């Protein structure tokens, strides 16, 4: 079960939840047309004893052998009410390649005349211009108000929209990511890792993606929370109004593995993973607590895991490896500014602002407020305030969370000197869609941005 939680932004307590529960992927799940083939996609039931192999032209058609479905259920904590919003919702096929899933990909011309031949096409600006597979699996569900202005969902494989030189980061901050480089904006003391040359460790990969659009009327009333970076890069916090969001994965407590190969699950769902603000568990929380964090509730974050935001090890490492190049040593204790962002670990969304700038739109900056991308909201006292247009006010596809986070680590807690630090990766390797589900079209198995054309053997 995959869940999106709406939480109290100040305490992390769950207020309501949207559960995505998927049909089984094994033979017992009943999602296959033909179990006597090696192909999940490209061949379904045989016709007159002959293999019926070919391209999938519509989701669930005769050539999509395996069709997974899911159910979306809304749960409200205060009342205990549980409402099934949609069931039997289809998951589109993976982008196998131009021969099986041609409608994901650019097939104009030939490989000789079109350098992008066979590669995934992305950047749709309207639902009508999405590829057929995605368009057919975007579902408007009953909500408040009624569809199509209510809840909208999608679940399926998408291009991995996160970009970062994670290989360089975890190789003791390889110099390719932190060398002093890049133009220095006004008000910035020093710049590191802004000129390119980093390697996107997620380039060419896809992820399983589940997404939901929830109308404001279907959310809890905005709640007060303390948030940094209001009205500019300042160490103080203001009281904003909004909600918290986090995601989790849960599995049945017991899995019985039978010799027949058909497993049986029983017992309540147990949380095994959660995610909210980028990099908290991956970069700040120490090894001894990573699994504990994944099993825990955000309501316990301040007591158990806030110490990792207050005393960021990544700052210690930057000081040790690059301290002489910095304007001054990074403060690595009592970082209350980072604790205000990361604990409790829910993404806080100010719901008093207008729409955010999406990647590709005028006004968007990958650096959020550091790049001048801001919004106007209303604080708890009813006064206008300037808030970040991206993370840590929500998180958009395209937000360069590595650069934003490292800059905060290097510049706080006083922010009297802004040290812009990045990983020299400034963009995703694929264009995002400009319409729901926003994540880019998945790369194909035979054409993607990670593969070279030649293997060099020995």
- Quote the radius of gyration of the chain (alpha carbons, Å): 23
| Helix/strand/coil percent split, the chain, to 5 | 20, 25, 55
Residue 39, CA distances (Å) to 33, 67, 118 in order: 11, 12, 20
Determine if the pTM surpasses 0.85: yes
Alpha-carbon 234 to chain mean position: 27
Q: Identify the CA nearest to 139 among candidates 355, 434, 396, 436.
A: 436
Contact, 402 vs 428, CB < 8 A?
no
Helix or strand (DSSP H, E) at 386 = strand 384-388
**β-strand partners of 247:** 4, 275
89, exposed or middle or buried, with CB in 10 Å at 0-12, 13-18, 19+? buried
Give the pLDDT confidence of 382-434 residue by residue, as tens digits: 999 999 999 999 999 999 999 999 999 999 898 888 899 999 999 999 999 99
433 DSSP assignment: P
Three-state DSSP at 388 gives: strand
Q: pLDDT of 36-93, one tens digit each?
A: 999 999 998 888 778 889 999 999 999 999 999 999 999 999 999 999 999 999 999 9
Nearest to 12 by CA among 249, 236, 211, 243: 243
Q: Where are the domains of the chain?
A: 2-31+68-91+137-421
The DSSP code sequence of 7-19 is E-TTT--EEEEEE
Q: How many residues does the chain have?
A: 458
Write out the chain's pLDDT in tens, 458 residues.
999 999 999 999 999 999 999 998 776 667 899 999 999 999 988 887 788 899 999 999 999 999 999 999 999 999 999 999 999 999 999 999 999 999 999 999 888 888 888 899 999 999 999 999 999 999 999 766 666 668 999 999 999 999 999 999 999 988 888 877 766 677 788 888 898 889 999 999 999 999 999 999 999 999 999 988 876 655 567 889 999 999 999 998 888 887 776 778 788 999 999 999 999 999 999 999 999 999 999 999 999 999 999 999 999 999 999 888 888 999 999 999 999 999 999 999 999 999 999 999 999 999 999 999 999 999 888 999 999 999 999 999 999 999 999 999 999 898 888 899 999 999 999 999 999 999 999 999 998 888 766 666 66
Distance CA 334, CA 323 (A): 19
Spatial neighbors of 38 by CB under 8 A, at least 6 apart, are: none
């Amino acid at each position: 079960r995959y869940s999106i939680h709406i939480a109290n932004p100040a305490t992390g307590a769950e207020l309501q939840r949207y559960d995505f529960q998927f049909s089984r992927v094994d033979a017992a799940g009943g999602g296959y047309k033909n179990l006597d083939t090696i192909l999940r996609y490209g061949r379904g039931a045989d016709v007159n004893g002959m293999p019926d192999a070919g391209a999938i032209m519509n989701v669930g058609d005769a050539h999509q052998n395996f069709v997974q479905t899911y159910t979306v259920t809304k749960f409200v904590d205060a009342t205990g009410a549980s409402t099934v919003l949609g069931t039997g919702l289809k998951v589109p096929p993976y982008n196998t390649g131009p021969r099986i899933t041609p409608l994901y990909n650019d097939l104009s011309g030939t490989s000789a005349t079109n350098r992008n031949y066979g590669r995934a096409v992305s950047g749709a600006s309207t639902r009508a211009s999405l590829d057929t597979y995605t368009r057919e699996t975007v579902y408007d569900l009953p909500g408040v108000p009624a569809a199509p202005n209510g809840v909208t969902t999608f679940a399926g494989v998408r291009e991995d929209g996160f970009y970062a030189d994670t290989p360089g980061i975890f190789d003791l901050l390889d110099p390719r990511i932190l060398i002093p480089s890049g133009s220095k904006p006004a008000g910035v003391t020093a710049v590191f890792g802004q000129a390119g040359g980093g390697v996107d460790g997620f380039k060419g990969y896809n992820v399983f993606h589940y997404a939901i659009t929830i109308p404001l009327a279907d959310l809890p009333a905005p709640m007060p929370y303390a948030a940094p970076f209001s009205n500019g890069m300042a160490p103080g916090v203001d009281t904003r109004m909004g909600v918290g969001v986090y995601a989790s994965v849960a599995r049945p407590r017991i899995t019985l593995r039978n010799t027949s190969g058909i497993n049986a699950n029983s017992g309540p769902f147990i949380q095994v993973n959660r995610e909210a603000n980028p990099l908290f568990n991956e970069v700040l929380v120490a090894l001894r607590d990573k699994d504990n964090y994944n099993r825990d509730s955000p309501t316990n974050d301040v007591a158990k895991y806030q110490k990792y935001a207050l005393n960021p090890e990544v700052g210690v490492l930057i000081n040790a490896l690059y301290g002489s190049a910095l304007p001054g040593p990074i403060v690595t204790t009592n970082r209350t500014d980072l604790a205000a962002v990361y604990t409790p670990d829910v993404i806080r969304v100010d719901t008093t602002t207008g729409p955010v700038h999406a990647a590709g739109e005028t006004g968007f900056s990958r650096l959020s407020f550091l790049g001048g991308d801001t919004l106007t909201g209303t604080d708890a006292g009813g006064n206008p305030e300037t808030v970040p247009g991206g993370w840590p006010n929500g998180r958009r596809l395209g937000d360069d969370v590595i650069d934003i986070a490292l800059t905060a680590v290097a510049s706080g807690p006083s922010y009297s000197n802004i040290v812009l630090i990045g990983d020299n990766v400034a963009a995703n390797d694929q264009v995002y869609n400009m319409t729901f589900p926003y994540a880019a079209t998945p790369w194909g198995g035979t054409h993607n941005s990670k593969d070279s054309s030649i293997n060099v053997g020995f």
